[in-house]
Amino acid sequence: MKILVTGNRGYIGTVLVDILLKKSYEVTGYDTDYYDGCGLYEFGQPIKQINKDIRDVSIEDLEGIDAVIHLAALSNDPLGEFAPRLTEEINLHATLKLAGLAKEASVRRFIYASSQSMYGISNTDDELDEDNSDKEPLTAYARTKWEAECELKKLNSDDFTVVCFRPSTVFGAGPKLRCDIVFNNLVASAYTTGKIEINSDGTPWRPVIHVQDISNALVAGLVAPAELVASQSFNVGIINGNYTVRQLAEAAQKAVAGSTLVFADEHVADSRTYKVSFNKILTVLKDYFEPKWDLNSGGKELVDMFRRINFREEDFKSRKCIRLMNLQQLVKEGKLNKNLRWV
């Protein structure tokens, strides 16, 4: 099977491509390479690479492709607020253009990496499910992910299967590691500084998922029967996979022996709190997806990687691991213009 992976040179993409290659898929990568130079170590390469802005995708890019796994996006709330107009252009309009061309090119499956951020602020007594819980996107990033899902499902047909996966906050080792996401940030801080500082009271809830587990969920979207996944959305997480920030911090402290955990005297208000149900994916796709990682194994893996590559505080706090910082620097250097296009 020939798979096109957009955003293949990002945090999830580099891990996903390695998994696909080991499963003997023929992988074509598609990436504009905003994060070239951000790799912490070598990673596997697809059989073919298209270096191109997703806004410029053409039907020729999709010739002979059996399935698309679409990761490419401005990838979190801070990036979305950095360029809200471009977030709509890239995360929504380019996504729909890609899907429309894929259907025209006789691609059979379109697997979309969406987001749980569309749930917004919720009553944390209840776990949010995919189909019945309110969607209250608070940011440009969250809104464009939700709107893209709604429009993509209109393209679903007997010969074009659309499935959407909503990952929890991702953690775990990878060559294009991100430290602007919660558990990676906490473990990296503990490892490089010896200290974890929490600026909230630690009570907000966060669901998390390992980068290899989300990659394997996307693979499940390739192989599960169409009748199970067609026009469906799945929250991706692990059993009992909702944690408070305090619990995440304590797990990070456990991963790094001798590190200290400090809660600030004055807390920054953090209204983002939500618990998510993973019952749907763990039952409907139980024969195709079984998460393997938890915070303990993921924390150990991160520390082992940090030791192996001699990871330092200057790496942790640099553009290598912080997506917004990298884009801001490329704009400042004149390498990207205000529309985030290469000059």
Report whether pLDDT(79) > 90: no
Contact yes or no for 290/178 (Cβ under 8 A): no
pLDDT tens digit sequence for 38-57: 999 999 999 999 999 999 99
Q: Please state which of the four CATH numbers 3.50.50.60, 2.40.50.140, 3.40.50.720, 3.30.499.10 is assigned to the domain occupying 2-332.
A: 3.40.50.720
CB atoms within 10 A of CB 136: 14
On the question of pLDDT at 80 being above 90, the answer is no
Indicate the average pLDDT of the chain.
Answer: 94
| Least confident segment among 77-86, 109-118, 152-161 | 77-86
pLDDT of residue 162: 98
d(CA 263, CA 201): 7
Residue with tokens 């194994």: 297
- Computed on alpha carbons and rounded to an integer, the radius of gyration of the chain in Å comes to 19
CA distance 207 to 82: 24
Q: Look at 50-54, 117-121, 210-214, 245-249 and tell me which has the smallest mean pLDDT.
A: 117-121
Q: What is the pLDDT of residues 305-322, one digit of tens each?
A: 999 999 999 999 999 999
Give the domain ranges of the chain.
2-332
pLDDT in tens, 263-286: 876 656 556 678 999 999 999 999
Cα–Cα distance, 99 to 110 (Å, whole number): 7
What is the percentage of the chain residues whose pLDDT exceeds 70?
A: 95
Token pair for residue 152?
Answer: 């993509």
> What Cα–Cα distance (Å) separates residue 292 from each residue in 29, 151, 185, 297, 304?
26, 32, 21, 9, 18
Q: Which of 262, 251, 260, 259 is nearest to 301 (CA)?
A: 251
* Residue 35 pLDDT > 90: yes
Give mean pLDDT, residues 300-304.
Answer: 98
